[in-house]
Amino acid sequence: MGSNRAEAALHAVYSAETPQELEAAYAAWAATYDSETASLGYLLPFLIAAWVARHVPVGEGPLLDAGCGTGLSGPSLTALGYTDLAGLDLSQEMLAVAKSRQSYGELKQAELGGPLPWPDGHFRAFFSTGVFTISHAPASGLHELVRITRKGGHAIFTVRDKALEIGGFPAVFAELERQKKWRPIEESAWFRCYAVAEPEAMVRTFVFEIV
């Protein structure tokens, strides 16, 4: 039953046609999001810590969890020694759950694709999982995330297979590289978002260095 509810909630967020619909879908899901995504075997919020640890030395910060949701990545990174964490999300209800984890020093409501409430070069790195996917944040949102990340810092994020195909990500990647704003560092193989359900849902992790 829990898996059925989770799959219905997934359908609601993937079929949202506006940021307002997406925000409403996550508001409705916030209270049960953690347990229901766990029933699907959702890997990304925990796995992203491996890429952060590979590229960002412990003690360097601040780090931005872009599209942090309920803050599932926070405790894993805190356990690894990353204590200077900030988060942003579209949903105030999801941010309330993230705040309860006590891993984030700063949490702000903001929409990826619009202006972000931090100055140029503020963060040592940003990371993002499950956000650049179907009916979610646009590829154009990377421009603002790069703006608020300092030179020598890192962009670490996943992109869903279907979004990569139709969402204009290769063009944005190339534009930022052409503008000498970042350079590619790492690109993973395709892997599953969910260990239990949705076997066809594949993502790839990308790492760029800000220049």
Q: 36-62, pLDDT tens digit by residue? A: 878 888 899 999 999 999 999 999 999
> What pLDDT was estimated at residue 197?
84
Kindly give, in sequence order, each residue whose CB lies less than 8 Å from that of residue 12, ignoring residues fewer than 6 positions away.
25, 28, 29
Domain-located, residue 30: no
Number of domains in the chain: 1
Tell me, yes or no, whether 162 lies in a domain.
yes
> Can you give the pLDDT at residue 137?
87
Low-confidence ranges of the chain (pLDDT < 70): 1-17, 21-31, 33
Cβ neighbour number for residue 191 with a 10 Å cutoff: 13
pTM of this structure:
0.86
Angle (CA) 205-76-188 rounded to 5° is 15
Domain annotation covers residue 7:
no
Instruction: Record the tokens describing residue 71, joined without a space.
Output: 């803050």
The string of DSSP letters for the chain reads -HHHHHHHHHHHHHT--SHHHHHHHHHHHGGGHHHHHHHHTB-HHHHHHHHHHHHS-TT---EEEET-TTTTHHHHHHHTT---EEEEES-HHHHHHHHHTT--SEEEE--BTB--SS-TT-EEEEEEEEEESTTS--TTHHHHHHHTEEEEEEEEEEEEHHHHHHS-HHHHHHHHHHTTSEEEEEEPPPEESBSSS-TT-EEEEEEEEE-
Q: Is residue 21 part of a domain?
A: no
Q: Is residue 156, in this structure, part of any structural domain at all?
A: yes
Q: 10 Å Cβ neighbour count for 8?
A: 11
Q: Which domain holds residue 69?
A: 43-210
Asked, for residue 174, whether it belongs to a domain, the answer is: yes
- CATH number of the domain encompassing residue 204: 3.40.50.150
Task: Summarize pLDDT for 78-109 with one digit per residue, the tens.
Answer: 999 999 999 999 889 989 999 999 999 999 99
